Structure 1
Amino acid sequence: MTTFTASPETPLGAAIPVPGRPSANIDIARVADLVSQLLIALGEDPAREGLIGTPERVAAWWSGFLSPDDATSVTCFSEQLSGQLVIVGGMSVWALCEHHMLPMNLQVTVGYVPDGEVVGLSKFGRIAAHFAGRLQVQERFTEQVAEYLTGVIGRKDVAIAVRGVHLCMSMRGVRMEAARTTTLHTGGRFATDPVLSQQFLAAAQWNAA
């Protein structure tokens, strides 16, 4: 896990790189071959109409989902604000459960208290998508987003609420389609100020509705 620590010398408005995903050297041809073998083991014929090209498409998806991407950056802008709570919600990202390799949909709400600068709003979604695009667990995802944003703003005044739908619970095992998993990180003032914490939780609940 990589953490960016804000520096007093970092100019306002500068683009801060997001740490890359774990290195993924993907052998697309090999993945396609394995998918073809899986279809055969499941009693299917990869050469039949409807499955022609499926192994290659699946391999291409894996490559796109897991390929490192260091292009995302976070931009901060100078803005003299005091005591204002900023909440960004309605962010929906997909990750893969590393225990069963089934999808999970994560609804993300982020809150922070600016102090002299604000984070570009579109970057919150990009950060969430960045940490979701891998084999993941919701608990770790929540902490990774919180840790990175803490480094960006240079303080622990960050709160993250994540509400997840896990297909590993909805379509296998207990098969409870209505089950939802919520993870919450509260740092700095969000952990010590009950009013601020309640304001964030109320907004997070509204965004998840």
Structure 2
Amino acid sequence: PEQSPPPPSPADPHAAPPVDVERITDLVGQLLSALGEDPEREGLVDTPGRVATWYRDFLTPETANMETSFAESRAGGQLVVVSGMSVWSLCEHHLLPMHLEVATGYLPGDQVLGLSKFGRIARECAARLHVQERFTHQVADRVAAAVGTRDVAVVVHGTHLCMSMRGVRMEAARTTTLEHRGRLDDDPALAQRFLTLTGGRREAA
């Protein structure tokens, strides 16, 4: 069986928890049996291992390196918006996927964060069992820490398979969450500019 990654360092608050591939493989086999399937039949014999490997890979993303992420800029005070980020996470209530479209904005000082870092932050935050509200808050925390300012905002548009595949089955339903801090919260004109650029809504939760 494949070996699980070593436990993360307690000093790293963003590290993913360890994933027990061997145990997940066994449990998925039990789940298939409970669903009335034969986990030993052709087509399913390798499924438990594949599922376990997927969980390991999805829940242990590459950690975003922030130490070399700053680039010289003369954009001090100018609103910087990075949008178009698309990530997947897992709803912790039903273990079904949710698709999250993420946009961030901030007011830099003398330096700005390299654009690729925002996508890496979003992917890293998404790679765990989640609810959209907490994901939005965590992305804002990470961006604020990386750029060294409280003047940040994050808007997330989420499509949840737990809504489209079960329950009310609302195919086109989309949930919007918004986190804004510092001047992007205090200055209505600045906040509205961010929302206009990202398709957010002021009344979002």
2:61, 2:124 within 8 Å by CA — same for their partners in 1? no
Matches within 5 A, 1:34-183: 34-67=27-60, 69-70=62-63, 72-74=64-66, 75-183=69-177
Q: Any gaps of 5 or more consecutive residues in structure 2?
A: 1-11, 201-205
Cα displacement (A) at 1:64: 1.1
- Give the TM-score, by structure 2 length: 0.86
| Code of the aligned partner of 1:143 | H
Cα displacement (A) at 1:104: 0.5
Distance 1:73 1:125 in 2: 12
1:21, 1:131 within 8 Å by CA — same for their partners in 2? no
Q: Sequence identity of aligned pairs in percent?
A: 57
1:20, 1:68 within 8 Å by CA — same for their partners in 2? no
1:21, 1:134 within 8 Å by CA — same for their partners in 2? no
Cα displacement (A) at 1:168: 1.1
Q: Write out per-residue CA displacement over residues 129-154 of structure 1, whole angstroms, 9 at most, x where no aligned residue.
A: 00000011110010111112112222
Cα displacement (A) at 1:69: 4.2
Other structure's SS at 1:94 match: strand
Cα displacement (A) at 1:21: 2.8
Other structure's SS at 1:202 match: helix
Distance 1:146 1:161 in 2: 9
Distance 1:201 1:96 in 2: 26
Q: Write out per-residue CA displacement over residues 135-181 of structure 1, whole angstroms, 9 at most, x where no aligned residue.
A: 11110010111112112222211010000011111111111111111
Larger relative contact order (Cα-Cα within 8 Å, sequence gap ≥ 6)? 1
Distance 2:46 2:54 in 1: 12
Cα pair distance change 1:50/1:170, threshold 3 Å: same
| Code of the aligned partner of 1:173 | G
- Give the TM-score, by structure 1 length: 0.84
| Code of the aligned partner of 1:174 | V
Pick from 13, 24, 29 the counterpart of residue 31 of structure 1. 24
Cα RMSD, aligned residues only: 1.6
Q: Any gaps of 5 or more consecutive residues in structure 1?
A: 1-17
